[in-house]
Structure 1
Amino acid sequence: MSQAADEVRLKFERSRCHLAELEDRIKSYLDREPFGVQPEEDETTGDLVYLVEVREPPPVALSLPLGDAVHCARSALDYLAWRLVIAGGGTPGINTMFPISETEKKFNGSFEGRLLGASASAVAAVQALRPFRGGDDRFWRLHRLDIEDKHRLLVPVGAAHTSVNVSFTFAGMDPDFAGVDPVVVGLNPADRQYPLQNGAEVYRVMKAARQSAAQGIGASHSFTFDVAFGEGIIVSGEPIMPTLADLIRDVESAVVPLFQFLN
């Protein structure tokens, strides 16, 4: 592999360093149990409703390694474009950058100018990646995150519960069930409910299910929470980890075939 390719990889590696810091900070935050859940009876329906308690919102400081990871990955693409132009015998300039556009039409009207001086084969290979919205959206997502981070902090929010684990016990039904281990059912809610607010309903046990419990089927509930991208962001509501790590990894993998055009 060429030195230029190694340098591009170094920039992606730096992005992963920021991701590692971000992941550690998110874990430290969640280890403090910033979210709690309290059961409360709905007097109208007789259902048992679990309501969230936000004890500590996600630290704004999480946005710093988040933005750094995004920017390092995006700049790795621009550096790759710069080296492709040099390898093709051209001279990089102010317009040299890895082309990513909002639409295919905009991409087709500008991508050649962004790579002016690169070999025809390299330019065709970049075009084949379809790095525009509606093509390979991974490029577009990374590009938009980088732009948004330049103008505002990518502030994380308390994400809705990622899963609800229900543990069923049957010992109360019949003595024969006394030695049976609890059955645990993991549920993944479709509505991630972000950002989490105090008093938000995260789970509901219907009245009929509560009546079953009175007949000997016991059930206990546990909840897990996450940290998500805030509202108004292109990946809003999605969990920061692993969404961002997967995005950066996939973009890097997608451009590896371009390394053959470097020298």
Structure 2
Amino acid sequence: MVMLNREIEAFHMIKPYRTVHEPWAQNTIHILRAEIIGGLPEMIPVMLGDCLQNMRAALEHLAWELVEVGDGNPGRKTGFPIFKDDPFTPDANPSLTRSFADKVSGMPEEAVAILKGLQPHLGDDPEHELLWLLNDYSNIDRHNTLNLVLAASDSIEARPGKRNDSGEFIPDYGNVLNDMLMSDVFVHGAELYRVTLREPDPDMEMEYNSPLYISFGKAGEIMGRPAVDMLHGMLRYIEQIILPQFMKFFPMDRMD
């Protein structure tokens, strides 16, 4: 991920984005919009996708090895099961139940039990479980370019004000009826910040500061944290939660 971080840092250094001030309603409403001057470099979604595919493939290799440990014969249906919906409830779609059974066929029963306990559907929010996100985004990457968006961090600073004679921005809420942050997705044309005044003021300005990060996105939704942080979270989950539970099936003398 070192090269990926370098690409992202280089992208932020050229600052291909800015904010645009729009006065409305005879200067009683002031809006700040996002403007994207240049798109993301093509290598960033490629590198992100490569990381996702490598992690997903590692789990598939683990599934293959578990079948061999169980003296089974791995086949084209063998795989590491990742299910957002419970395939074992009485009203479960029969195709889900068959798919799970096909993926784990030939594995030791204890390994199958561990896999059942790792399923995203057991989490409080299955669609945002790391294992499901890995599965979902790796599937998207196989068929399409990953949808990435610029997102504002939680430490957004936005305020109305004016500039003094020396050009320094001075916060000023004296004429402000209300102000509000409108969006944390920094896409072209998005309304970021809105200030409503009691009286018209053509000299009103707005200051907006927020470290931006690249996030996975889907249907206008951001996934809530930087894409690179999410990749690190997925990798830690695999290394610290998943793999240790299966080490018992691979004695050291077998791995030599």
TM above 0.5, yes or no, is yes
Q: Please give the residue correspondences for 1:221-236 in structure 2 after superposition, counting only pairs within 5 Å.
A: 221-232=208-219
Q: Please give the residue correspondences for 1:1-263 in structure 2 after superposition, counting only pairs within 5 Å.
A: 19-44=1-26, 46-105=28-87, 107-132=96-121, 137-157=129-149, 159-162=150-153, 163-166=155-158, 191-193=183-185, 196-197=187-188, 199-207=189-197, 220-232=207-219, 239-255=226-242, 256-263=244-251
Post-superposition shift, 1:21? 2.4
Q: Which runs of 5+ in 1 are unaligned?
A: 1-18, 173-181, 183-187
SS of residue in 2 equivalent to 1:191: coil
Post-superposition shift, 1:99? 1.2
Alignment-mate amino acid for residue 213 of structure 2? D
The change in CA–CA distance for 1:234 and 1:77 in structure 2 (over 3 A counts) is farther
Post-superposition shift, 1:117? 2.3
Query: Alignment length, in residue pairs?
Result: 222
User: Whole-Å Cα distance in 1 between the matches of residues 114 and 62 of structure 2?
Assistant: 13
User: Whole-Å Cα distance in 1 between the matches of residues 196 and 240 of structure 2?
Assistant: 47
Alignment-mate amino acid for residue 200 of structure 1? A
Is this contact kept in 2: 1:63–1:154, CA < 8 A? yes
User: Whole-Å Cα distance in 1 between the matches of residues 48 and 11 of structure 2?
Assistant: 15
User: Whole-Å Cα distance in 2 between the matches of residues 152 and 221 of structure 1?
Assistant: 34
SS of residue in 1 equivalent to 2:210: strand
Q: Deviations over 1:229-260 (max 9, x none)?
A: 24449966764232333233224433131222
The change in CA–CA distance for 1:75 and 1:190 in structure 2 (over 3 A counts) is farther
Q: Which runs of 5+ in 2 are unaligned?
A: 88-94, 165-170, 172-179, 252-256
Structure 2 length-normalised TM: 0.70
Structure 1 length-normalised TM: 0.69
Alignment-mate amino acid for residue 202 of structure 1? L
Alignment-mate amino acid for residue 2 of structure 2? A
User: Whole-Å Cα distance in 1 between the matches of residues 122 and 200 of structure 2?
Assistant: 48
The change in CA–CA distance for 1:65 and 1:54 in structure 2 (over 3 A counts) is same
SS of residue in 2 equivalent to 1:206: strand
Post-superposition shift, 1:190? 7.1
**Aligned-residue RMSD, C-alpha:** 3.6
Give identity over the alignment, percent.
26
Of Structure 1 and Structure 2, which has the larger fraction of its residues in helix? Answer: 1
Query: For residue 11 of structure 1, what is the aligned residue in structure 2?
Result: none
SS of residue in 2 equivalent to 1:58: coil
User: Whole-Å Cα distance in 1 between the matches of residues 200 and 156 of structure 2?
Assistant: 17
